[in-house]
């Protein structure tokens, strides 16, 4: 549905502000490129999020997202990606104004500032990300999704 979050989407970009200091890659603000550098390019290209008109949402986690232990903290690739993407598996969603609320099957809630423009949607939210020193850094994570 044009002008709506309803439909299927793929990740086009994923950034954080401020940048976060990491062990192997220095300061990063481009999380999409970080995941590509870690070998998750196929996963990111195939991962699809669907927002149905009945308020359900789901993520298609292709086999490329489920293989490998190539993250910087020893987690499976899909676990690493699920921590930063809007939907890990199955969820409920609702929009009120420009606020997208996603309630995961485990009861966790994420709220995103949302801008739908043509075939793109921009989602922004506050995320605490662990830096190289083990400190939690509050960032604004912004994801741009493109309609499939």
CA-CA distance, 50 to 61, in Å (whole number)?
11
Average pLDDT along the chain, 148 residues, taken 10 residues at a time: 86 94 87 84 87 92 66 51 69 95 91 95 92 90 95
CA distances from 33 to 64, 93, 117 (A): 17, 28, 23
Its sign, for the CA torsion 77, 80, 85, 86, is positive
- With beta carbons less than 8 A apart as the criterion, state whether 25 and 32 touch: no
Query: 1: how many CB neighbours lie within 10 A of its CB?
Result: 10
H-helix segments, 5-104? 31-37, 41-46, 63-66, 77-82
Give the tens place of pLDDT for each residue, 8-39: 999 999 999 999 988 878 899 998 998 888 77
């Amino acid at each position: 549905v044009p002008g709506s979050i309803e439909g299927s989407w793929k990740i086009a970009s994923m950034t954080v502000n401020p940048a976060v200091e990491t062990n192997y890659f220095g300061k990063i603000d481009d999380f999409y490129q970080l995941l590509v550098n870690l070998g998750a390019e196929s996963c990111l290209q195939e991962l699809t999020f669907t927002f149905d008109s009945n308020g359900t949402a789901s993520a298609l986690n292709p086999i490329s997202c489920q293989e490998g232990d190539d993250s910087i903290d020893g987690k499976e690739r899909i676990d690493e990606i699920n921590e930063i993407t809007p939907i890990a598996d199955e969820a409920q969603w609702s929009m009120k104004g420009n606020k997208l609320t996603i309630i995961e099957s485990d009861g966790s809630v994420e709220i995103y500032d949302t801008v739908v423009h043509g075939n793109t949607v921009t989602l922004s939210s506050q995320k605490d990300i662990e830096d190289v020193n083990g400190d939690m850094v509050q960032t604004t994570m912004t994801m741009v999704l493109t309609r499939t």
